[in-house]
Amino acid sequence: MNTRHVLWALRHVGRPARIVELTELTSLTRPTVAQIIAALEGRGWLQRYEPIGAAGRPAVRYGIAPSTFAVFGADAGGHRAVVEIASLDGETQARRERWHEQPLGERMLDLLGTMVHECLDELGLPPTAVVTGTVASPGIVEPRSGQITLRSSLGRWNGAQVATALSGHIGGAVAVDNDANLAARAMCTVDDVPQTFLGLQWGQRIGAGIVLNGQVYRGRTGAAGELGSLLLPDPVTGEIRQLEEVVPASRLPLLGGAPDVSTEELIARAEAGDDRSAEALRRGVDPLAAAIAPICVGLDLHTVTISGAIARSGPALIAAFVERLAAHGAVDVDCRLSPFLEDTVLRGAVGDAVDAGWEWLLEESGSQEPASANQPS
């Protein structure tokens, strides 16, 4: 029990801590905490960190040993795959990124496994040091069965297949979650983002994570936020198409009537004060705003976050999007760009793996967590 108290306190602090801090957080005696720290250090679970400050005799700090426990997060995007190995404090230790044309399936699993091993080789870590992992996948991830519904163009795989294949490369279990939900999870860690919001993952694909009171809402089948399958008339062709086909980020200029420029150029010109470009940008984002506005109104959502490479845009995109949301009835909506840019999904995957890693570590300590502990979800 006491060992678990101390480990939970380290998790709560989120950084290497002094014995006196852990004593205050656990309400244990200093000798008890010191004895537990010594035992955990002896097992290789903890390592010492240099004191901070020069006044008096600064105390040594202790934290989870990154060479003993690690996790991995992976974003298996349609054209970009990224893998990171992180310590249990969420700090990136190694990273690999690949642009690819692989459909989701066996080849992608081989690629992700290779990237995990490259990271491990860089760090000199054995596979057993990685105790958990989380893979972000496009598609509807059914919470109970792990079944993943994908567009045929993306390939074919399921949660059990992914977890089984990649857990063979590490020392623990692998989870699979929807990419937009993981992006929304990452945005929950941003200081000024409220506990209830819609997280829009916007690139060549479109998806959303709905966060209600700090929790990602998935729906009965895991399909909550799957906006890409909505049907609407394409403003360019007049055909009925899926939203994901109508509003990929690269199509904004065409939707806005400025097909000769790129999305980046259109936004830059609008930022520079060009009225025609600003109007084209408003027309370009209108179909997406029309799809999101009813969700904002129906769920009383007043914050929309935007992640993906398009989050590199500036105030012009936000202004155009807010204006078109209001035109479709969603007024007083605050739109914010993700500080994690195109790595927002990955940050969510790593964060999920870190949480799972700590759960594993607390269970491995062989005791029950304090009943009064208010742990992060």
Closest CA to 305 of 210, 177, 178, 203: 210
**With bands split at pLDDT 50, 70 and 90, how would you rate the model's confidence at 342?**
very high
Please give, one letter per residue, the 3-state secondary structure of 9-61: HHHHHCCCEEHHHHHHHHCCCHHHHHHHHHHHHHCCCEEEECCCCCCCCCCCE
Q: Binning pLDDT at 50, 70 and 90, where does residue 79 land?
A: confident
Query: How confident is residue 373, by pLDDT bands cut at 50, 70 and 90?
Result: very low
- Contact call for residues 19 and 34 (beta carbons, < 8 A): yes
What pLDDT is attached to residue 246? 96
Please check whether the domain covering 191-338 is classified as CATH 3.30.420.40.
yes
Asked if the domains at 70-183+343-360 and 191-338 fall in one CATH topology, the answer is yes
Q: Is the pLDDT of residue 54 over 70?
A: no
Taking only the tens place, the pLDDT of each residue in 150-169 is 776 677 888 889 999 999 99
Q: Which of 72, 9, 6 is nearest to 39 (CA)?
A: 6
Superfamily (CATH) of domain 70-183+343-360: ATPase, nucleotide binding domain (3.30.420.40)
Indicate if the pLDDT at residue 56 is higher than 80: no
**Average confidence score pLDDT of the chain:** 91
Find the mean pLDDT for residues 284-292.
Answer: 97
For position 310, what pLDDT does the model report? 94
Nearest to 10 by CA among 367, 364, 375: 375
Q: What is the reported pLDDT for 352?
A: 97
Cα–Cα dist 192/161, whole Å? 37
Residue 375 is predicted with a pLDDT of 35
Domain segments of the chain: what residues? 2-65, 70-183+343-360, 191-338
- Please say if the pLDDT value at position 20 is more than 60: yes
170-217, pLDDT tens digit by residue? 999 999 999 999 999 999 999 999 999 999 999 988 999 999 999 999
199 touches 222 (CB < 8 A): no
List CB contacts of 87: < 8 A, sequence separation 6 or more: 64, 66, 69, 70, 71, 93
Domain 2-65 top-level CATH class:
mainly alpha
Residue 374 has pLDDT above 50, yes or no: no
What is the rounded average pLDDT of the residues 272-294? 97
Residue 125 vs residue 365, higher pLDDT: 125
What per-residue confidence (pLDDT) applies to 144?
79
Summarize the confidence of residues 6-16 as an average pLDDT: 88
Nearest C-alpha neighbor of 166 from the set 156, 178, 176: 176
Per-residue confidence band for 55, with pLDDT thresholds at 50, 70 and 90: low
Does residue 314 contact residue 267 with C-beta atoms inside 8 Å?
A: yes
**What pLDDT does 131 receive?**
95
**Is the predicted pLDDT of residue 32 greater than 50, yes or no?**
yes
| 206-212/197-202 β-pairing | antiparallel
**Rounded to whole angstroms, how far apart are CA atoms 74 and 115?**
10
pLDDT digits (tens, 9 = 90+) for 204-225: 889 999 999 999 999 988 999 9
